[in-house]
Amino acid sequence: MCERKVRVRFAPSPTGPLHIGGVRTALYNYLFARQTGGDFLLRIEDTDSQRFVAGAEEYITESFRWLGITFDEGAGPGGPYGPYRQSERKPVYRQYAERLLEARLAYYAFDTPGELEARRNDTPNFQYDASTRLQMRNSLTLPPEETARLLASGAQYVVRIKIEPGETIRVHDLIRGEVTVNSSVLDDKVLFKAADQLPTYHLANIVDDYLMKITHVIRGEEWLPSAPLHVLLYRYLGWEEAMPQFAHLPLLLKPEGNGKLSKRDGDRLGFPVFPLEWKDPKTGERSPGYREEGYLPEAVNNFLALLGWNPGDGREMMSMDEMVKLFSLEHCNKSGARFDYEKAKWFNRQYLVRKDNRELALLFLPLLEERHIKAPLEYVEKVAGLVKERVTFVKELWEQSSFFFIPPAAYDEKTVKKRWKADSAACLAELARLFRAQAPFDAHSTEETVKAWIESKGYHPGNVMNALRLALAGESKGPHIFYITETIGKEETIKRIQQAIATLK
Ligand code: GLU
């Protein structure tokens, strides 16, 4: 077989916001495509109109735009194999259902929802398969004339795949190795519905993977049970040669306990399970998103990539380019990946600290504007650089640095009690005079001057510094004190000292 160009797809159903697990699936597809120089497609699987949710596709597109995960083809960019929305491909599928019917690998089933319901009620674990289909109303049990008459009369029907029992079906999975399933456990899944003239997920998914020349199907573990049916469909349609390779990714597990990560875990433990905030169009309910919580997209990508894969050398911090180089499906884990929210925060902190101060300032500016604070970009840049080690999220920058922009409106009571001594006012008054004469006013020179002065006077260095910090910042935290004096400048420093003396006496 000649080597085909790698083509992978992300194929979400627009039934709501994209779960973070779906983002990981897309990311792995993206890494694989970029590494192999292949194509990455976005296909919207929207054949189930009942579950369609308005705005979901836009949400998906916006999520990937934010994360920098790009598609070469698909809904959005377009491409030679379009359209890429299944609802726009309606005329494509029918012929394949017909091909299967002609080959007797599928059949018409006329059972009404009521009949099926009744059957399910009297037979526990009822499954429509080789053991039951001859008791049902379908083209296998009805005389051919009756089937023809029903079809001509416009009766509702579905097309079901005919699965022969007792056969071992083999799925080759790049992560799990060979997975075998006995066909007897599979049911005769519906492939096509007359009611809306639309294929179900299974048929549409296979037909499109084939027509779009997909070489690898990389998707979540929840689709593993469908894989044997998909293997059969490839065979039934005569496409075995073109069957993609499968890779079913490990489940994302709850932070603690058993089972898969759910939105409820996020709500309960206080973390988002969606990339962006989502507002339910029906209920108006809002679910938090990583973007709105203040995550940097590069941190989210890095964190997600390591949920189920690692480069094997203990490395954690990786840029997208590095991950593209190092990624391998063979190194993905089979067992579930535990979701660790503290780790997500850790990654964000790492990326934030490494961010260039200018970039950080640009992220900080809108938060300052919200507070009607105008400051030159260079100033914001300097402040961001001084406090970034103290925050996990951009939105925490204000809390750590407000005193660089506005003088303290009040002084933290506890700090005052502890740090404002009987002689603090007198001492700071002296210090203000010292500052007045100080030139240049950079952190280093100022510190030298102040240290020499403290020594010559025999003052307690801690007491002086604590009182000064209280005067400048209104509290006991903040970066190195002389970085503060340098940044806010001589005039402001002296003004704040005088204000503290006047207020605290
Ligand atoms: N439409 C399916 C989903 O929502 C696609 C599964 C697959 O990748 O085959 O995830």
Name the CATH topology of 89-249.
Glutamyl-tRNA Synthetase; domain 3 (3.90.800)
Q: What pLDDT sits at residue 133?
A: 98
CATH code reported for the domain at 356-401: 1.10.8
Cα separation, 368 vs 27, in Å, equals: 33
Q: What pLDDT sits at residue 2?
A: 58
Give the residues of the chain that fall short of pLDDT 70.
1-2
Give kind and range of the element (H or E) at residue 73: strand 73-74
Cα separation, 258 vs 233, in Å, equals: 34
| Residues 216 and 8: beta-carbon distance below 8 Å | yes
- Assess whether the previous peptide bond of 83 is cis (omega < 30° from 0): yes
Give residue 310 CA to ligand 1 midpoint distance, Å. 24
Give residue 221 CA to ligand 1 midpoint distance, Å. 11
Q: What pLDDT sits at residue 157?
A: 98
Instruction: Answer yes or no: pTM beyond 0.85.
Output: yes
Q: What pLDDT sits at residue 72?
A: 98
Q: Where are the domains of the chain?
A: 89-249, 356-401, 413-504
Q: What pLDDT sits at residue 505?
A: 83
| Lookup: tokens for 69 | 């995960």
Please compute, for residue 434, the number of CA atoms within 13 A of its CA located in the half-sphere on the CB side. Answer: 20
Give kind and range of the element (H or E) at residue 107: strand 106-109
Q: What pLDDT sits at residue 257?
A: 83
pLDDT tens, residue by residue, 25-46: 999 999 999 999 999 999 999 9
Catalytic residues: 263
Atom of ligand 1 nearest to the CA of 45: 1
Atom of ligand 1 nearest to the CA of 218: 8
Q: Whose CA is nearest to atom 5 of ligand 1?
A: 11
Closest CA to 484 of 346, 387, 347, 409: 387
Around Cβ 53, how many Cβ atoms within 10 Å? 17
Give residue 45 CA to ligand 1 midpoint distance, Å. 7
Mutation test of ligand 1: which of 27, 201, 229 has the most ligand atoms closer than 8 Å to its C-beta?
Answer: 201
Atom of ligand 1 nearest to the CA of 201: 1
Q: Is 14 in the pocket of ligand 1 (CB under 6 A)?
A: no
Mutation test of ligand 1: which of 13, 53, 221 has the most ligand atoms closer than 8 Å to its C-beta?
Answer: 13
Give residue 230 CA to ligand 1 midpoint distance, Å. 12
Q: Is 388 in the pocket of ligand 1 (CB under 6 A)?
A: no
Closest CA to 27 of 193, 167, 168, 220: 220
Q: What pLDDT sits at residue 189?
A: 98
DSSP for residue 128: -
- Assess whether the previous peptide bond of 376 is cis (omega < 30° from 0): no
Name the CATH topology of 413-504.
Arc Repressor Mutant, subunit A (1.10.10)
Mutation test of ligand 1: which of 223, 226, 249 has the most ligand atoms closer than 8 Å to its C-beta?
Answer: 223
Give residue 403 CA to ligand 1 midpoint distance, Å. 51
Q: Is 147 in the pocket of ligand 1 (CB under 6 A)?
A: no
* φ/ψ (deg, to 5) at 31: -60, -45
